[in-house]
Structure 1
């Protein structure tokens, strides 16, 4: 039974790779900056400001009317609770304490005078998570790791944290009236902590007969990259169309200096990339004072390292998260109340990438949100300076399934995670 409960508890860390504090499209953020956020993230064909353009469609920067610098700071507060039970062993409920996570985003766009080429640079909080579950004496998956053969044990306290930052230098070319193309490399840096570390095998160096997972804290920043390209079209009647392809972000293998049960040095590793994305967007600005925008996005998790595989290796290593590829739809509207005040609202729907069969392997993960509501606005402080505000609420959702071990699902077992998220975003835009 010790192995059974340890296998059940190991999934608690898996949710870390899923527990993106802002992400409703799996591990990828749904919006960057308060303007893009208040539009629900719909930005593939709506050139409203630099951050949303650089992140959503590199061709879009050619449609911005002026040079621009935008900076945004968001605070993300997840509300997470995990319940688990095994018939005959009781049940328990545990709330996480991830706190408020800050996210910083920046976009800069410049077009030389009389040039058909526009240049831009973006720096974005593209993906990430943080979780902090305390140990428990009643919630089976958070009971301490056992070091006695035959004695049930869980995983104890679980702490996971990750941040994936993308640097995106971009160039866009206006190839004809109303048509632009854009391209840029994407340089991604990632920090990932998973403790205990379930993506490598547990060890029994002390010979107790009860192997334990090592720590995944002693690591460094890891690098990766890819590219994105896009096309944008607009006409004088107010129709806007856009399309973007963003490649897989190929990360180097995450490696950790850890130790076995006797304190001897050990290296543990895991492979995790960010998925390929395809976006199609349309917008309409033909009505006075209004802009309407809609994006449809595809995320290829089922062919991405770290997400595509599922289950266990024979040595107890968790293979991956077992996600499906998914679509999302984002829509937003902007209304110019006055020349100095713009109001926005948006809605985002996401398919759940986690099949019911993989619910156990995504314990505690809030990345199965399906409904997001966004509101916000911008106010002109001076001729060239705007302040931007946004608020997002991810509606409460849950996922539930049996506890699964290498031998199969445990009869009478259940794991349920409930979660919601609040996000406040503030920023400044300077046009010159």
Structure 2
């Protein structure tokens, strides 16, 4: 299997890079400082077709491949991680569950605006007491006539409270199965539904530009036909969604590593001490060389997994490749930002330099869409070990 980027992918990479450098880079420091979510830029991303990369043409998409989505996420993430995660979550967690599990009516109702980037959707899995242990979901939904009544809370939900958010798909207990275990289903909750509240946005360490809220659901009543997929299959559906999301997060992490490499190469060539550029000193040069290795290895792992996804690789093999890519690249990103901050010295500790923003943004990559500990557990299981 070849996972080299095609000429079309390379041309697309340059187009997204031009967009990121022209529309995002000049403003990102101010947006980050103000915790501003730039709706206009998100919608320009929609106009460019970025939210519709994996959607079929009949729904307004381009019918492209998953690799193209990873290219777009990497290039946006190379300029700003928050903008990259907005696309990743908008497609991987907002659009793809509906595209994969939705009825034709649900697709026709929700996807055209989402695919066009006019609206956003969120993915409500995590709760105050159910993160890595997502099966411990406490949110409940009871069928009352022709409607679901949902009660519970979600946290750390991306794209869930912006002015263009159209819905959040949430997991909820809808009963028990024949073995007495919780039956978890997925239900689409439109924004603005009475009882559905996106609470005040989080004051986060990083990803300041990303829209992230805790959610409260109090007697939220939605039509019965807002069930997504089969009743009782919500947990399995979301786990499948996360498998793809891990590859996309790896692409975001590669963008972070590449940004650190680019910034360090430029700075180390210009900054002088004792009459020489600091890049002439092995102590700095070797660290920058390590960044190049991280970027190359991480990109290879990520696009190999993306190519497997596009080729329809067996689920077990794809899950393993996704976890390996996500684990390596996310931890590499954290290391890369530490190295970049060290190369920049005191300037790296100043918010006016982008390495400080990347340093803050990187840590969540080891946590979101499956922590590093979860990835190691999944990889060990894939090797046949009886990990609990």
Higher relative contact order (CA 8 A, sep 6+): 1
**Greater radius of gyration (CA):** 1
1 or 2, which has the higher strand percentage? 1
Report if TM-score (shorter chain) is over 0.5: no
**Which TM class, normalised by the smaller chain length?**
under 0.3
TM-score by length of structure 1 reads: 0.25
1 or 2, which has the higher helix percentage? 2
